[in-house]
Structure 1
Amino acid sequence: MSTETTLDLPETRLFIGGTWTASATAATLPVINPATGEAIAHVSDASVQEGLAALDAACAAQDAWAATPARDRADILARTYQGIIDRRDDFALLIVDEMGKPWSEAQSEVDYGAGFFRWFAESAGRIHTEGQFGIEPGSNYHVAVSKRPVGPSLLITPWNFPLAMGARKIAPALAAGCTTVLKPAAQTPLTSLLLAQVLQEAGVPAGVVNVVVTGNSRDLISAIMNDTRIRKISFTGSTQVGRVLLAQSAQNVMNTSMELGGNAPLIVFDDADLDRAVEGAYLAKLRNGGQSCVAANRIYVQSGIADKFTKRFTERLAHITVGNGHEPSTGLGPLIDDKQRTTVHNLVTDAVAKGATCLTGGQIIDGPGYYYQPTVLTNIPADADIREEEIFGPVAAIYTFDTEEEAITEANATPYGLASYVFTKDLGRALRVAAAIDAGMTGINRGLISNPAAPFGGTKQSGLGREGGIEGLEAYQETKYTGIQL
């Protein structure tokens, strides 16, 4: 039975200072359903001036929000969590239609995104109990250390997880006492706008959360970042854009959190449970159609098990049902747009032209919609672009290795260090390899590692800082030291 129903659109206007308002220029942006290529809505397109108006609202609300008791902030976050859960199907429907996820994955994202509001609701009340108060050694001088909010924060989110990425930033910011300006991706703004409605219904004061969608991201973001009142930027997206934002943030010495690109290795050793390894690799590779910064970009299989693993994994991919996310049988939806599909296809054709073997897939699926066949490549030559670039699509690149040392060397042979995965029954080996891989996260015998209670982030050119866990709250806090002479 199809899950398709009439799409109940949320507000499509800008949310500034607690008020829904259309752009003064009346400009709008289409939201395209990647399964059909057709527009499902048009949202207000914010100008630079409206971006600055959102900053004005956030700054005006900052002092009162910071002074709001942490327990009161926690109650609002808890109500937001429940509001999302109560509208679980509404959020999932929007995610399917504007992003292309299969229905079950969209529901899972709703649960995951809501979890950040629950986690940080539980964490908010502990902010003022984790400080220090003591006497400086050798004197009667008292030292008090406390936490205070960083201040107004600019939050920039990508299109691939429309609810989770906003939740992962807004929830800790509000828990810490920071006001926010959220700029969601123009491809998938509807979920963020519905989230703003739920936050408003949960009692978030005017100006604490502002949402501006724009087709002119560069100018709007630059204008906000050039204003000395903005104290933090949290960005999830490509390393290329992250470098630009880091350079801009240096001008005003802004607090920054950067969750950037990935090139995740997934290592399968000879002694791994084959069933678990195949299923874990499938999840790490195909979740969200491979459009994830933590997707398994390079799958390394030890030579003794390589043929068996590759055969089983290829069969698994070859039998995925590709289609509209509303159909219960769908295991793989469309890519976000034609540009992304072309990028993926170019990586595949380049590898095959240089000598790689395509075991299944490798072709664009005729429209409507931006579908691509689930693909497995082996025997990939050293000069293939796919070895170095983030795939961001349903293409599995499989390599073989002989020794543990070789696997570690290959895993680390990249400027990125976000996620990694290890499959083995040997606990000593698992911990040894996990410690040796230069990445912010490692999953052992599992292909899904994201969790609101755990720190998410990477090393090297995969970013700075962490989201989720206690670290996610600390990212929106400054340490205040007060010296007291009695």
Structure 2
Amino acid sequence: MAQPTPLALKPGTAWADAWKRALAAAPEAFREDRVLNLWAGAWQSDGHALPATSPVDGSPIAGPPRLDAGTATEAVRAALDQHRAWRQVPAPERRARVTAALDALADHRDLLALLLVWEIGKPWRLARADVDRAIEGVRWYVDHVDAMLEGRTPLDGPVSNIASWNYPMSVLVHAMLVQALAGNAVIAKTPTDGGLACLTLACALIHRENIPVTLVSGSGGELSEALVRSPEIGCVSFVGGRDTGARIATALTDLGKRHVLEQEGLNTWGIWEHTDWTALGAAIPKLFDYGKQRCTAYPRFVVQRTAFPDFLAVYLPAVSAVRTGHPLAVAHPDDPLPELDFGPLINAAKAAELTAHAAEAVDHGAVPLFRGTLDPARFLPGQDTSAYVAPLTLLSPPASSPLYHAEPFGPVDTIVLVDTEPELLAAMNASNGALVSTLSTDDPATFDRLAPQIRAFKTGHGRPRSRGDREELFGGFGASWRGAFVGGELLVRAVTLGPAGERLPGNFPDYQLMP
């Protein structure tokens, strides 16, 4: 039998190639050996640059130039000065500058995507989609923002953005540009785990259009006082885990500062009195996009026990077809980049943690229904694969396991079997609130009766739900969301001032808007 051709990096896609292109595209923001911070309207050679490695193969890449708390405080004060000038810029001029920035981002789309591949391990298809969603989403706001801003004014201080690493463009840059479009200066902290070079290039292109953007690196603990509690900050937008989010929420509630805090939740897919197995089988591989490192991933299936054999008959072939590997490796130079569902997790430490949680769950009674393997033919010869985890499915995780009640943020599915509707609802609500859920049931009346009892902001009937953008409302229930709900007009309202006494819709102590 002929041996498969060993894979090699597609020409022009090496980290060295991406870095050289970034230097050429934005020489003001990069040096040969590091990136710079952007504050007070200039690129600054400050901060202590730390080493970093790519999750793709463990090779060295650019690390964050971490600031200390004092410098971060200076950056926030400078952003307030920028904010006071920017909020006076007429809306048509703001639209024109944001549009020019979007055109520049589009011109550098493939480079931004390539940096994402190396920095956070996102497959090529999904990396380009992340860039495209940012650009297309903000263009929609450019076209519709005038009506949204009627009778409203910018905040009294800049918006501070602290976001997770998984969607640097379609979540973080998208939010920053909408906030700027609404008349605010914006501050962003580069995520600790990845996205530094991509965000630096994006902010360089935005900054060139005289849009007031600040981009700084540093540890959350070191910079929190400046980026969260500073009196100059007008609003805090946070995307991340519940532990950090809870601390930030407490600080913001004490300060009375407006905020948008999207936090993790265990999104669940329930199956009750269901027979359309073909549709379910078709949906399962898509749920593994980016290794389930998404806030709207579905890592938990709650299945009616009598339907379990039919569920397995479609689930196992579907999960077996999920493709993972090196996102830039090809057999021949002219081959297109591989079509993968996911590549590595964000780093080797996360892969080890997830593997340990799974092993512990099995030790305490969980049943491994499916164990995927990493196919050597999808990797470079001898490459470091320590950040890669193949799909794994566990039946009946013990209640003591983190996999039972928390979002794994990786390609590990858990299945819980139930016999009654109350059991179904209890298992779907295990994490006290989620962003999305799905219930597969044949009877529309059953869906209408059960769906309102599922503590998720959006519940799909036999189909997955997404985070949403543009005109679609977005939020969460329970501990998965704090502060203002956003989406379309509400995203603009969250970062602008309206009539006196206006109450923002969202998860505040005295106000709750049901979706």
TM-score band by shorter chain is 0.7 to 0.9
Residue 480 of structure 1 corresponds to 499
Checking the alignment, whether the CA contact within 8 Å between 1:70 and 1:127 is kept in structure 2 is no
- CA 1:384–1:16 in structure 2 vs 1: closer, same or farther (change >3 Å)? closer
Confirm or deny that 1:351 pairs with 2:373: no
Deviations 1:211-247 (A, max 9, x none): 0012x32122213434311121111111100111122
Q: CA deviation at 1:3?
A: 5.1
Equivalence for 1:136: none
Preserved contact between residue 73 and residue 124 of structure 1 (Cα < 8 Å): no
Q: CA deviation at 1:60?
A: 0.6
- After TM superposition, the structure 1 stretch with the greater mean CA deviation from structure 2, 93-102 or 374-383, is 374-383
- The within-5 A match list for 1:61-460 is 61-129=82-150, 131=151, 146-188=152-194, 189-201=196-208, 203-205=209-211, 208-214=212-218, 216-284=219-287, 286-327=288-329, 328-361=338-371, 367-453=384-470, 454-460=472-478
Structure 2 CA distance for partners of 1:363 and 1:222, relative to 1, 3 Å:
farther
- My pick for the range that moved more, 249-258 or 332-341, is 249-258
Cα distance in 2 for partners of 1:229, 1:239 equals: 25
Higher relative contact order (CA 8 A, sep 6+): 1
Q: Structure 1 residues 51 and 364 mapped into 2: Cα distance closer, same or farther (>3 Å)?
A: farther
Identify if the C-alpha distance between structure 1 residues 44 and 437 changes in structure 2 by more than 3 Å, giving closer, same or farther. Answer: same
Of 234-243 and 336-345, more deviation after overlay is shown by: 336-345
Percent sequence identity is 24
Instruction: State how far apart, in whole Å, the 2-side matches of 1:274 and 1:226 are.
Output: 50
Q: Deviations over 1:180-215 (max 9, x none)?
A: 1100212221221121022124x233xx2100012x
Structure 1 residue 119, shift from structure 2 partner:
2.7
Alpha-carbon distance between aligned partners in 2 of 1:363 and 1:154, rounded to the nearest angstrom: 42
Taking the aligned partners of 2:82 and 2:189, their CA distance within structure 1 comes to 18
Residue by residue over 1:34-89, the C-alpha shift from the partner in whole angstroms, topping out at 9 and shown as x without a partner, is 01112122442222233123212211111221122223222333333333333221
Q: Which 4+ residue blocks in structure 1 deviate beyond 6 angstroms? A: 362-366
1:244-288 CA distance string (max 9 Å, x none): 11222244321111101111111234435323223323333x122
Tell me the CA shift for residue 414 of structure 1: 2.7
Deviates more, 1:236-245 or 1:119-128: 119-128
Shift of 1:333: 0.8
Give secondary structure in 2 for the equivalent of 1:182: strand
Contact residue 71 and residue 124 of structure 1 kept, 8 A: no
* C-alpha separation in 1, matches of 2:439 and 2:174: 26
Over residues 107-147 of structure 1, what are the superposed CA-to-partner deviations in whole Å (9 max), with x where a residue is unaligned? 22122222331232223212343x4xxxxxxxxxxxxxx44
The answer as to whether partners of 2:404 and 2:430 remain within 8 angstroms in 1 is: no
Mapped contact 1:153–1:230 kept (Cα < 8 A):
yes
AA of the residue aligned to 1:98: E
Range moving further from structure 2, 98-107 or 305-314: 305-314
Deviation digits for residues 363-390 of structure 1, max 9, x if unmatched? 8999334111111112434444311122
Partner of 1:141: none
Q: Which structure 2 segments of 5+ residues have no match?
A: 1-6, 24-29, 330-337, 376-382, 502-515
Give the Cα separation in 1 of the matches to 2:230 and 2:401.
43
C-alpha change, 1:466 and 1:198, in structure 2 (3 Å) is farther
Q: TM-score, normalised by structure 2?
A: 0.82
Q: What are structure 1's unaligned runs of at least 5 residues?
A: 132-145
The 1:272–1:47 alpha-carbon spacing in structure 2 relative to 1, beyond 3 Å, is: farther
Following the alignment from structure 2 to structure 1, what is the Cα–Cα distance between the partners of residues 231 and 385?
Answer: 46
Give the C-alpha shift of residue 423 in structure 1: 2.8
Structure 1 counterpart of 2:298, which letter?
Answer: A
Contact 2:320–2:372 (CA<8 Å) still a contact in 1?
no
CA distance in 2, matches of 1:413, 1:43: 36
* Matched letter for residue 474 of structure 1: R
C-alpha distance in structure 2 between counterparts of 1:63 and 1:347, whole Å: 49
The verdict on how the C-alpha distance between 1:88 and 1:70 changes in structure 2, with shifts beyond 3 A counting, is same
RMSD (Å), alpha carbons: 2.5
1:403 Cα shift? 4.5
**2-side partners of 1:239 and 1:233: how far apart?**
15
- The corresponding residue for 2:59 is 38
Decide whether the 8 Å contact of 1:150 with 1:232 is kept in 2.
no
How many residues in Structure 1 have an aligned counterpart in Structure 2?
460
Moved more, 425-434 or 407-416: 425-434
**Can you list the C-alpha shifts for 1:283-317, whole angstroms capped at 9, x where unaligned?**
33x12211122211311223343223223222222
Match of 2:39 among 2, 10, 16: 16
- In 2, Cα distance between equivalents of 1:376 and 1:460: 27
* Counterpart-to-counterpart distance in 2, 1:385 and 1:86: 43
Q: Is the 8 A contact 1:70 1:124 kept in 2?
A: no
The 1:437–1:147 alpha-carbon spacing in structure 2 relative to 1, beyond 3 Å, is farther
Residues 164 and 213 of structure 1: CA distance in aligned 2, closer, same or farther (over 3 Å) = same
The amino acid of 2:464's aligned partner reads G
Distance, in Å, in 1 between the alignment partners of 2:221 and 2:64 is: 18
Any conservation in 1 of the 2:153–2:183 contact (CA below 8 Å)? no
For 1:283, the aligned partner's letter is: K
**Residue 160 of structure 2 contacts residue 186 of structure 2 at CA under 8 Å; is this kept in 1?**
yes
Classify 1:108/1:276 alpha carbon distance in 2 versus 1 (closer, same or farther; 3 Å). farther
**78-87 or 64-73: bigger deviation:** 78-87
Give the alignment's TM-score, normalised by structure 1. 0.87
- Contact 2:416 2:427 (8 Å CA) reproduced: no
Distance in 1 (alpha carbons) for counterparts of 2:422 and 2:63 = 53
